[in-house]
A and B are shown apart, each in its own frame.
Chain A
Amino acid sequence: MSALLEVRDIHTAYGQSRVLFGISLEVAPQECVCLLGRNGVGKTTTMRSIMGLTPPSSGRVTWKGKEITGWAPHRVARAGIGFVPEDRRIFAELTTWENLDVARQVAGRPGGWDIPAVYRLFPKLEELRDRPGGFLSGGEQQMLTIARTLLGNPELLLLDEPSEGLAPLVVEQLLERVLELKQKGLTILLAEQGVEFSLAVADRVYVLEKGEVRYSGSAASLRDDAALRHQLLAL
C-alpha cells in the first residue's frame, strides 16, 4: 500500500507534558481512517503534529513520500492537508462569506472547490452569507469550518471531533455530508470519541490510549465484534 500520509513513531509533548508516545499510522488515498479514543488520549495532538502546529520531538511525518516533519502549518496546508479543528471556531467578526473569501484568497492550491461548490454542499451557508460568524449555531459553524477548509482544495481532510457538542439531528446531517465528501474521493482522517459516527464512515480504525496505538484494524471488524469494542473502548 502506498500511503498518502504516513506517520512514523512520533513523540509529541506540550512543554514538559508528554502526550504522544510513538504513534504510527498510515492513510491511503481515498481512504477514511478514524482515530478513536476517549478525551485526552492524543487524537488532537496527533492531528496538530501532522499539521505542524505542535511539531513532534521525534518521529517522522511523510506526505506523498516527502518528509514534512517540522514544516510551518501554512506550508502543510498548501501541500494539501486541510485541518478542521475541534473548537471549530470561525473568524467571529467576519461574515460567513468573508470567512470563505479569506480562505479562498489564501488557498494557494488549484482544485475544484470554490464558493458556489461549498454552497452546494452546505446550502445553509448561502442563506447565512451575510451573518457574522459569531452569530452562527454550533452546527453552522462546523459547516463553515469544513467549507473553509475545503476551499484550500485539500487532498486529505483532518476532521477533529466534528460531532462534538452538536445535537443528534445535526450530527446526522453532518454525517451525510462527510459521506458525500468521501464518495467524491476525498481522503479523510477523522478523530472521534463516539463509535456511531466513526464506524459509519471509517474504513479503518486506530484506537488510541494514553498516547499509543492500542488497536488497528478495519472498521468492519470493530463494528461486528461487540466484545472487542467493549474491551477497547469500555462501551
Chain B
Amino acid sequence: MTRPLINRIPWTLIVFLVLLPVPFLGSRFYTFVATDIVILSLFATSLNLLLGTTGLVTFGHAAYFSIGAYTTALLMKNLGFPFLPSWIAGGLMAAGFALVFGFFCVRLTKIYFAMLTLAFAQIVWAICFKWNDVTGGEQGLPNVPYPGLDWMEVLPLIGDLRVSDKFYYVALALVALCYAALRRITLSPFGRVLTVIRDNPERAQFIGVNVRLYELAAFMVSGAFAGLSGALFGIFNRGVFPDFAFWTKSAEPLIMTILGGMAHFWGPAVGAAALILLNQQITSYTEYWPFVLGGVLIVLLFVFPGGIVGTLTKLGRRIGGRDA
C-alpha cells in the first residue's frame, strides 16, 4: 500500500516534541493554557472517533468526560489512591458507562441517537448535581490533589520546575500516548469499518457488518478516552464540578471539532487550540465572547466548511499540485 507521505510522518511524536519546551518560555500562564489545550484536545479527538470517523453525532459526550473526572477525583481525594491507577480507573469507568448507555443509543439513528446521548448525559449531570454524599452535589469536589510528582526531581531540567509545570509534562505524556492509541485505532481495520459505516450504514450491513455492534464499540472507545481526558482535567482544574457533565460541556468538543475540521485526525486538536487561544484573547478585550464565537462559527460553516485543517489541506493541495 502506498500511503501519501503526509500520513507517514509521526505527527504525534512531532507535536509532543514541539510542546516540550512550553514551561521554559517563562510564564506560568503559558503552561496553564498549554495544559488546558492538551487535555481538552483529547476530549475533542475522542469525540471525533464518533463524529468524523463513524459519522455519529453525539450531544452527550460530557457524560463520559465527567464520569472519568469524578471517578479519578474520588479515588485520589477520598480513598487516597495513587494517580496512575486512578486515572486508568477513570477511563475504564467512562468506558463502562459508555457501554451501557451506548447499548441503547445505537438502537436509534441520526437525531434520535443524538437526543438519547443528550438524555443520558443530563441524567449523569443530575446525579452529579444531587448526590451530595458522593459527588459533593452543587459544590462538587474541590481540592483534588496533584499526583505525587516528587520522583520527577531526579530528572534533569524538569526537576526544578513548579508543580504545575511538572503536571503539564505528565498530562502531555499521557495525552500523547492516548493520541498514539487513537491514531492506531482510526487507521486499523476496525477503524476502516467505522469509515465504511459513516459512508453508508446500509451498504455496510449487507456486506456483513454488524453496524450496531461496531457503533457500540466505537462509542465505548470514544467514551473511554473522553473519561481519560476528564480525569486529567479534574486534576488540572483542582476540582470536579457538576458543570463538567452539563450539556454545554458536550457542545465544547463539538465546536472544537467543527472549528478544526472533523475530516482530519488532527482537526479537533487544532480546533481545541484555536478555540482556547481565541477565547483567551477575546475575553481580554470584551465580555461578549459568545457573540464573537457565534460569528466565527457562522463564517466557518459558510466559507470554510472543512474547518481549519480542511481548508489548509485544500490550500496545500492547490499550491503543491494535485498529489500533495
| B is bound to A | yes
Interface size on A, residues (CB 8 A): 29
For A108, the chain B residues whose CB sits under 8 A away are 208
Query: Which residues of chain A are within 8 angstroms of B199 by Cβ–Cβ distance?
Result: 91-94
Q: Is the CB of B206 within 8 A of A74?
A: yes
Q: Who on chain A is nearest to B192 by CB?
A: A102
B72 within 8 A of A: no
Q: Contacts A53-B205, A77-B206; is A105 near B195 (CB within 8 Å)?
A: no
Chain A nearest CB, measured from B107 CB (Å): 12
Residues of chain B contacted by A203 (CB below 8 angstroms)? none
| Cross-chain contact B207 with A148 (CB below 8 angstroms) | yes
Given A91-B195, A102-B192, A102-B193, answer yes or no on A83-B206 (Cβ-Cβ < 8 Å). yes
Please tell me which one of the listed residues B1, B193, B200, B202 contacts residue A130 in the complex, with CB atoms under 8 A apart: B1
Q: Which of A76, A83, A91, A97 has the most CB of B within 10 A?
A: A91
A219 within 8 A of B: no
Q: Hey, which chain B residues are within 8 Å of A72, CB to CB?
A: 205, 210
Q: Is the CB of B206 within 8 A of A94?
A: no
Known: A74-B210, A89-B200, A105-B189. A94 touches B205 (CB 8 A): no
A77-B208, A94-B195 as given contacts; A53 in contact with B189, CB under 8 Å: no
A97 to B1, alpha carbons, bound, how many Å? Answer: 9
B207 touching A102, Cβ below 8 Å? yes
Question: Using an 8 Å CB-CB cutoff, how does the interface string of A74-87 with B read, 1 for contact, 0 for none?
Answer: 10111000010100
Instruction: Tell whether A106 pairs with B193 under 8 Å between CB atoms, given A74-B210, A92-B199.
Output: yes
- Determine if A89 and B189 form an interchain contact, defined as CB atoms under 8 angstroms apart: no
Q: Is the CB of B208 within 8 A of A94?
A: no
Residues of A within 8 Å of B1, CB to CB, are: 97, 130
Interfacial residues of chain B within 180-202, with CB under 8 A of chain A in the complex: 189, 192-193, 195-196, 199-200, 202
Q: Are B208 and A74 in touch, CB under 8 angstroms?
A: yes
**A85→B202 CA distance, assembly (Å):** 11
Q: Considering only CB atoms, which chain B residue lies closest to A154 in the complex?
A: B208
Q: Is the CB of A53 within 8 A of B2?
A: no
Instruction: Flag if A89 contacts B208 (CB, 8 Å).
Output: no
Please name all residues of chain A whose beta carbon is closer than 8 Å to the beta carbon of B208 when the two chains form the complex.
74, 77-78, 103, 106-109, 152
Chain A residues positioned under 8 Å from B189 (CB to CB) = 101-102, 105
Contact residues in B for A85 (Cβ distance below 8 Å)? 203, 206
Report A-chain residues with C-beta under 8 Å of the C-beta of B192: 94, 98, 101-102, 105
Q: By the criterion of a CB under 8 Å from any partner CB, how many residues of chain B are at the interface? A: 18
Chain B residue nearest to A153 (CB atoms) is B208
Contacts of B193 in A (CB 8 A): 102, 105-106
A130 to B2, CA, bound (A): 8
Closest-by-CB residue of A relative to B207 is A103
| Contacts known (A91-B200, A97-B1); A73 close to B205, Cβ less than 8 A | yes
Q: Which residues of B contact A107 (CB under 8 A)?
A: 208
CB contacts (< 8 Å) of B206 on chain A: these are 51, 53, 73-74, 76-77, 83, 85
The A-contacting residues of B in range 157-176, CB under 8 angstroms, are none
Inter-chain CA distance A148–B206, complex, in Å, is 11
Q: What is the CB-to-nearest-CB distance from A11 to chain B, in angstroms, rounded to a whole number?
A: 21
Q: Check if B297 is an interface residue, CB within 8 A of chain A.
A: no
A39 CB to closest chain B CB (Å) equals: 21
* Cβ contacts under 8 Å, A49 to chain B: none
Contacts of B202 in A (CB 8 A): 53, 73
Residues of B within 8 A of A78 (CB): 208
- Whether B274 sits at the interface, judged by CB under 8 Å, is no
Task: Give the residues from 23 to 78 in chain A that come closer than 8 angstroms, CB to CB, to chain B.
Answer: 51, 53, 72-74, 76-78
Q: Does B152 touch A at the CB level, under 8 Å?
A: no
Q: Is A193 an interface residue (CB 8 A)?
A: no
Closest to B190 in A: A105
The smallest beta-carbon distance between B201 and chain A, in angstroms, is 10
Residue B211 interfacial (CB < 8 Å): yes
Provided the pairs A83-B206, A130-B2 are in contact, do residues A94 and B211 lie with their beta carbons within 8 angstroms? no
Q: Considering the chains assembled together, what is the distance between the CA atoms of A148 and B210 in angstroms?
A: 16
Contact with A along B1-29 (1 / 0, CB 8 A): 11000000000000000000000000000
Interface centre among B1, B192, B208, B209 (most CB of A within 10 A): B208
Residues of B with C-beta under 8 A to A142: none
Contact of B207 among A93, A94, A149 (CB under 8 A): A149
| Cα of A73 to Cα of B203 in the assembled complex, Å | 9
- A194-B210 Cα distance, complex, nearest whole Å: 35
Q: How far is the CB of B185 from chain A (nearest CB, A)?
A: 15
The answer on a CB contact under 8 Å between A74 and B203 is: no
CB neighbours (8 Å) of A51 from chain B are 206
Q: Which of A91, A105, A152 contacts B203 (CB 8 A)?
A: A91
Closest 6 CB pairs of A and B: A73-B205, A77-B208, A83-B206, A106-B208, A73-B206, A91-B199
Q: Which residues of A contact B (CB under 8 A)?
A: 51, 53, 72-74, 76-78, 83, 85, 89, 91-94, 97-98, 101-103, 105-109, 130, 148-149, 152
12 A/B residue pairs, CB under 8 Å, sorted by A: A73-B205, A77-B206, A77-B208, A89-B200, A91-B195, A92-B199, A94-B196, A98-B192, A101-B192, A102-B189, A103-B207, A105-B189
